[in-house]
Chain A
């Protein structure tokens, strides 16, 4: 089951330049939350702070409090512990090229020392079914490399890989920006189904996408969270002038 996320006074830096200023927000469990905003506004940096991926960049730094459910992300939790509870899907599909489809899905468990072969088979099948890829690949999961799939299939493989470790939160960083409209449609349907079990945070440049998949939407600008509300409210009656300007295409 998904858990809620609570973010308090998060600031983030790349070297000396500050990328996030005092972010406060509460993300609802088992809902999809979309983060929108122009390029470089900090939305990607923000979700990378949620699973402590931000600090893997040289010279990057985070301050503030992040709670994933009742787990304090930056206090007494190791990054690896934290990331096992948070799945992440990246902008460009990034399956492990040397691994078969099966091994890609099983990677998170296998690399963390999970060895129960029979259980693993079930988990892989279940994850591929959840990501709506099973029917397309079931005959070749051991023979074909993850890299041999099409772009859209690769992205669904990456989603299956993230789901296989049974996370509570799924972070998606522009998961459809490298995909064609049909693949995008499939991923969006998937997000709709996955909401039942996971808390989803999705960064997107596509405002229609945000409106379609997310119940809540946050608008970022220049490293600040300008407005955060129900998606409907953001797109029909935003309370900040800058949000309105952005969603009506007046800038950004």
Chain B
């Protein structure tokens, strides 16, 4: 087992040496801090309506300006981080869990189980996913929980295919045969031998998946079927931005910038993990 730990430590070291990936990681940590301790980043209440200062451009009192109800945009962006960070994490958690279980089932059992599961994956991949998500959320009344569940339930196919392929190739290896000969049970083989070896590609897929989930949530909220006001989310601040597109550029600029930077952070980190896990792919 010491070999496995060594590989992982090596991976962490290579990851830290990759400046872009480290920057991506820092951005993610920063936004998690913003989400966890919003009061440290703004003294304003994101829901406080102030009819005396509606649609004001950025100023000392309101560094990012105010919206159509006179609410502080900085405060709304800061509190909006909660939605994005949570949705990304939970949705991908759901997708990865489903993908892991189905991929292991298909890869391990093979035969009919494998055939049925993979046909199901084929079907799910043919859905225009965004149409499906849109309909599902609109019908189930939009809330953060529903959004996370629906994005998770429609995003597991990639991981399932990945895990299946890894399982198929790993289960034929000598070290698995050796473990089996020593009397190791299926669960032990899965957790001690298959999963640790399949960890890096799963981690890459999950990290890039978070980026995608954050983008999907913001698009949904922007269309008005995601997180509902008054709860601030980056997407629904942008909806207001679109309504006042001719007068208030600051409503459109800053929330989108927050999305861009966060998603970029996850993408850079994901690429970094990929390079660190398989240095042959570096720079591709």
Q: Please determine whether chains A and B interact with each other in the same assembly.
A: no
